[in-house]
Amino acid sequence: MAETPEIPRAETGNAGVPENEPQLYESSRRDPVAEFDPNKMRRTKPGIKRLILILSVLFSFFLGLPFLLKSVEIYRAPLPFRAIDSLLNRIESNPVVLPCRFQAVFVSSDGEKISDSRAEKLEILILERITKLTGSDPVCGSCGNNYTVSVTMESGKDCIRNRNAGNGCLWPCGEIDFSAFGANLKDDDVVDELLDSALRGNMDCADTGGKVYTVVMINRDEEARVVVGKHRHAWVLGKVEEIEAVSMITDIFVKFFINGGKKDGSIQPEFMPVGADGRVVLSFSLLNADPHDWIYDWDFQSIDEIMLAPVVEALAPIAKISVESQVLYHTPKSSFAQWDEKLASYICTTKDLPFFVNSNEWHLDTSIAAGGRSKVLQFVVYIPSAKECPLLLRLPNGEMSMTNGFISPMWGGVIIWNSPSCLRDSKSKPPTVHTLSSQDLHAVSEIFMGQIRQLFGLNSGSVQFAGSGITNVLASQRGFTEWELDALSRRHTCFNLLSCATTLGSLSRLVQSLPRMIIMDEIGKQVKYSLEAAGLAQSNSSLGIYDASAVSSRQARTLAEDAFFHPSIMSISYYSFEHFFAIYTPFFLPVSLHVVLAAIKEWKRFKQERAKYLEWKANAGES
Amino acid sequence: MNRDETQNRTVEMAFEVGKSKPGRSKPVDIFSLLFLILVSNLLWRSDAIGSSSTSSSSSSVVHTNNWAVLVCTSRFWFNYRHMANTLSLYRTVKRLGIPDERIILMLADDMACNARNKYPAQVFNNENHHLNLYGDNVEIQGAADNGRHLPGCYSFLSVHSPGVLAIGSSMKGENSYSHHLDSDVGVSVVDRFTFYTLAFFEKLNMYNSASLISLFNSYNPSMLMSTAYYRTDLYQRSLDKVPVTNFFGSVMETIHADSAYRGFSVNGSRVAQIKMVHQADSPADRRTLIDGTLQDQISGLNSKERDVGHCPMSSLLNKLNDIEDVDTLVNYGLIIMISMVTITTWLSR
């Protein structure tokens, strides 16, 4: 408003400024009060209301800026980076080992001379030999380097133990009188239960860390018979020399109780079929290759009751197992089989096996879990069509396979079951639905059990160790013996802890490398719980509680994987600085430009008006 | 950003960016290279755990988890042969064993059902029409947008991660030519590079596996009318030892099941019955659980949507959510706004 009258005057004034100025000068020398030039002077003091108004708007912008920045701040839940790094360093430098306790018991019926020094000597020999067999480097999931070996010698009424026997769960001297049993000792199951009742009856065995692996040497005048039981003990029946006894004992300790029945106790990741969420889905399928020939069905309920329920329970510390089954039709295999005249059957060799599974036509992945993070293991019974029936598997050494089946690590197993009607020429009859008989079902489930064991890295059957003198290895109703489950728990504990630490380490590196990535609360919580579970697993493992440490290590791994694969991390929606810039500048830039320009203009005007007033005051003062 | 995976994966990508004009020979710029990028992770997992042995029974490393990603980004009828190239390669990898679950096939345009296609629902890669690539068992995942350049076009030159083997159909500045024109269909049906690649693979089956070096040696520059070349600086293993089925096929590692586990007695059902008395809930739960959770999930989703609020705000919100045609609403709003602005301007004149 004030500007408008000034502009025309300024324009006319511009033309006449050189004339006015000298006039002004003259007038200021002559008469300052008479010449009042509104361009240069004003009578009243300039008000500050306009300035305050503009400055308040500018000031409110500045005031709001921290609120704006706070509102667009990226929410990052705090992650315990130091704890993650220390866990990773700790696990990578010392592999997780769980302590094992061993016990050697020498029972002699006659009054053989036993002494303390003999017990001590035996302990030293056994320890030396075990250390020599296992090597100096601790393998992940093995018993480590600290073994406790206790030696108990019983002869008649005498009972001698070595000094470092440890406490709890030791052989109760004098409880069993072996001479009374006589020939019954040849029945392995009876002896197994007998020894188990003796070893378990001790109250000290119930507490934590009380698991001891025992080998009982029963001295009798017979040929040596070595049997490994279903629980945590083995026994040798017969007359054995001391040196040979030591080597037998240590062989059993190392091969069976430490390594779980395999020569090498190291972990191979392809034999750890547990999914990232700690679950395994066993998916059983019955495949009718050509339903025009014959159709088969099965009573899966009975397999579930007989075989699977105890197995699921036995493997509970290692994985949560769920079971499903289906029957499929029109599922030919994709490899070729040759007709063999001598055997009157079609022969598949092991070279054909990698191409046996026809992924295009076998729609095995129909379970809900197929898309998730659980591991799905497929167990297939393949019933060949009439064109390729009977189908047998020939091994590379020329022998025919006893099981007619194979496994693929991390995938599952296949059994070829030949229909009995394939030998008869029944082409004219229309196909009827047969059901697998209970004997067939039992045979098939036994082979499946062997395959499950192989997939978990154990021996498929109670395989005889030729040349090492083992007479028998007992099989368990639950599919796994207790010492096998211990070995599996140890391996899985170590594997899960290493996997958890690696995942958390990757997550922390990722989060630290992307400072503008949103980290939700849930991820922070999962990381915290995962670290807690890992700590719990480590403390449990140091105490020697195998199943509890397996459970907590599995939880730690599951939580770490959940945190790493959280959907908010997977989606690429990071709030980059360019994004922030692109959203806010189209509004704020023009507005702030106007406000700042207005403030500057107002400030300049105020200064100008003040200068005019001061000029007038000076002129008025002079005159 | 990727953490090291536990499984070995092979990702195979065929990018074909064709912005060529119709005609027998297509003057193409650099972007018309046919990329075959083969990525394979290294076997570091077993080393991290510290196991002493890495391979159990098989002597060579086999990949049971190969994935194939086939992308065709060329649109329009005159780029028929690009689609045919991709579908031919899809058929090849399926034949060599990769299942549909591990193949991602993305096509930019629909040639089979194009109005110009004289043979509807059929796509051929040879003028003898011997093979219909669009036959049964073709699952297509999605369409690629030809508007933007896929980053993979540049990735041949800028790949840094190890374990990558890359092939190109022509050198920089050269052209990549089509093979022959099918006068019946009216356009060229296959490119030279693809034609000779497929000829190589048709001779293969799952059993005999040629090595990668024989694939590369089969490319004759005079027949291709361009120089096919490959980049091996990121791939450690020597090419004459790597079978092509490691990348293009899927081979399972198999181990014979040596024996059965005879631990169960035939009358084990008696034991199970006794157990079931004590744990009456768990077996039944186990069996019906899978159906139950699915039902719960479905009903949960439905109930979330039908949640009726008491206050009018939430009912308004629900109504807004139910509006399907948002565009017309926005258009109406804009018209109303503009008319209001003009009216008020006229009034305040």
HEC profile for A431-462? Answer: CCEEECCHHHHHHHHHHHHHHHHHHCCCCCCC
Residues across chain A? 623
Residue with structure tokens 């109780």?
A257
Secondary element (H or E) of residue A82: helix A81-93
A407-434 exposure pattern, b = at least 16 Cβ within 10 A, e = fewer: bbbbbbbbbbbbbebbeeeeeeeeeeee
Interval B229-256 mean pLDDT:
76
The CA distance from A602 to A611, in Å, is: 14
For the question of whether the overall pTM of this predicted structure is more than 0.80, the answer is no
Contact A285, A378 (CB under 8 A): yes
CA distance A165 to chain B (A): 32
Residue with structure tokens 């029409």?
B129
B287 interfaces chain A, CB cutoff of 8 Å: yes
Residue B317 has pLDDT above 60, yes or no: yes
The CA distance from B331 to A540, in Å, is: 66
Do A268 and B45 lie within an 8 Å CB cutoff? Answer: no
Q: Six-digit token pair at A580?
A: 């922030």
Average pLDDT, chain A: 84
The top-scoring range by mean pLDDT among A18-22, A304-308, A313-317, B77-81 is A313-317
Residue with structure tokens 């990668």?
B212
The CA distance from A231 to B141, in Å, is: 53
Do B261 and A479 lie within an 8 Å CB cutoff? Answer: yes
Residues of B in contact with A312 (CB under 8 A): 286
ipTM score assigned to the predicted complex: 0.76
What one-character-per-residue DSSP string does B257-313 give? ---------TTHHHHHHHHHHHT-HHHHHHHHHHHHHHHHHHHHHHHHHT---SSHH
B111 interfaces chain A, CB cutoff of 8 Å: no
Which DSSP state fits A260?
A: T
Beta strands (DSSP E) in A51-179 are 100-108, 147-155, 158-161
Residues across chain B? 349
- Structure confidence at residue B63 (pLDDT): 47
Contact A83, A125 (CB under 8 A): no
Of A409, A449, A451, the residue nearest B252 (C-alpha)? A409
Which DSSP state fits B186?
A: S
Residues of B in contact with A377 (CB under 8 A): none
A203-216 exposure pattern, b = at least 16 Cβ within 10 A, e = fewer: eeeeeebbbbbbbb
Task: Determine the residue of chain A that is closest to B289 in CA distance.
Answer: A322
Surface of A (238-267) touching B: CB under 8 A: 264, 266-267
- Structure confidence at residue A260 (pLDDT): 86
Contact A373, A561 (CB under 8 A): yes
Of A238, A241, A242, A243, the residue nearest A227 (C-alpha)? A238
- Structure confidence at residue A391 (pLDDT): 92
Say how many C-beta atoms besides its own lie within 10 A of residue A568's C-beta.
12
Residues 6+ apart with CB under 8 A from A55: A599, A602
Bridge partners for B106 per DSSP:
B71, B142
Residues of A in contact with B98 (CB under 8 A): 359
- Structure confidence at residue A489 (pLDDT): 93
Interval A598-617 mean pLDDT:
90
Least confident of A129-133, A530-534, B234-238: B234-238
Residues of A in contact with B58 (CB under 8 A): none
Residues of A in contact with B101 (CB under 8 A): 359, 365
Instruction: Dump pLDDT digits (tens) for A569-590.
Output: 766 556 677 888 888 889 888 9
The top-scoring range by mean pLDDT among A446-455, A458-467, B222-231 is A446-455
Choose between B227 and A320: higher pLDDT.
Answer: A320
In Å, how far are A226, B255, B340 from A487, measured between CA atoms? 21, 22, 80
In Å, how far are A447, A462, B287, B311 from B261, measured between CA atoms? 6, 7, 25, 66
Letter for the amino acid at A92? E
- Structure confidence at residue B288 (pLDDT): 38
Do A302 and B269 lie within an 8 Å CB cutoff? Answer: yes
Of A242, A243, A241, A237, the residue nearest A221 (C-alpha)? A237
A226 interfaces chain B, CB cutoff of 8 Å: no
B94 interfaces chain A, CB cutoff of 8 Å: yes
Q: Six-digit token pair at A579?
A: 């994004």
Bridge partners for A102 per DSSP:
A149, A213
Number of H helices, E strands in chain B: 11, 9
The CA distance from A168 to A309, in Å, is: 32
